[in-house]
Amino acid sequence: MKHYGLSLLVASSLAAIVGSQSAYAAATELSPGPAIVSGPITNGSTVNLQSTGTTVSEVFVGVSARDTDILNLGDTAIFNNQSTLPGAGASQNVALGSVLNFNLDNTDDILGPATYATGTAYTNDFDNVGPVYHFAFFDVTGAADVNSLFGAQYIPVGSAFDTFFQDNGGYSSWVFVGVEDSPITQSDDWNDTIYAFKGVAPVGAVIGGGGAPGTPEPSTWVMMIMGFAGLGFAGYRTSRKSAVAA
C-alpha cells in the first residue's frame, strides 16, 4: 500500500511536468493586455522587452498592411515593411539585461503619422477604447503556429524560411511579434507587420535560466524528488527486512 501511494505521487508529479510542457504546445501570448475586441488576438502585450544576452537579432517575417511601417530600436531604423523582403535579418550589440525600446513608425496612416512603443498603452481614436497595446509578443512551437496565429502562410511549413528558424535555436528561442499600426479600434488585428526577435524576454523575466516556458515549477520538482526518494527508502527497508528474515 505504501508503494502504491508513493508510485501515485511520482506519477502525479510526472503528469504535472507533462502538463506544464503541453501548455506551450501552441502560440502563447506573453503578458497579454486586457481584451478589447474579439478574435484570436484581443490586445497586445503590456510589457517591454529586455535583452537576454549581448546581441539582439530581428527577422522580418511578413506584412499585411498597406501603410508604411518602420521598426526601430531607439533611434535606429531596422526594417521598412514596404521595402524589406521577408527573411531579411538584422542584429545589434546590447548590454545584458538592458531594456529594449522598440518602436514602430506608421508614416502614412489615413489619420496621420503615428508612433507606437512596446509596453505602452494608447487610447485609440473613434471609440476611445483603451488601453490598446500595439505590439503583441508570442512564444510559438513551429511555422504552423505562426501561420494560424496571424492568418496567412507567412512561413510555409518545410520551406527554407521554416528551416532557418529550426536551425537557429528552434522556434522556442524566438519571440514572434505582431504589430497593430492603426489607431482605429475596429481594425485591430496585430498582423499588420510581423517580426521575430531573438535574445529577448519580457521585462522582469528571469535571465540566464529558470522560469522559461515549459520548465516545471519548483514545487513540481520537489514533489517528484520526494516521490523518488520515498520509493528508494521503501526499497531499502524491504531489502533490510528480507536480509533479517534470511
Query: Alpha-carbon distance 136 to 206, whole Å?
Result: 20
Phi, psi for 100 (deg, rounded to 5)? -105, 110
C-alpha grid cell for residue 221? 520538482
pLDDT digits (tens, 9 = 90+) for 133-178: 999 999 999 999 999 999 999 999 999 999 999 999 999 999 999 9
Mean pLDDT across the chain: 78
* Strand pairing class (114-117; 121-122): unpaired
C-alpha grid cell for residue 85? 523582403
Lowest mean pLDDT among 45-49, 96-100, 222-226: 222-226
C-alpha grid cell for residue 185? 479600434
- Average the pLDDT over 110-127 and give the result: 84
Query: Alpha-carbon distance 125 to 109, whole Å?
Result: 13
Res. 194: pLDDT tops 90: yes
pLDDT digits (tens, 9 = 90+) for 41-83: 888 999 999 999 999 999 999 999 889 999 999 999 999 999 9
pLDDT for the residue numbered 1: 46
Res. 18: pLDDT tops 90: no
Count CB atoms within 10 A of the CB of residue 3. Answer: 12
Confidence of residue 205 (pLDDT cuts 50, 70, 90): confident
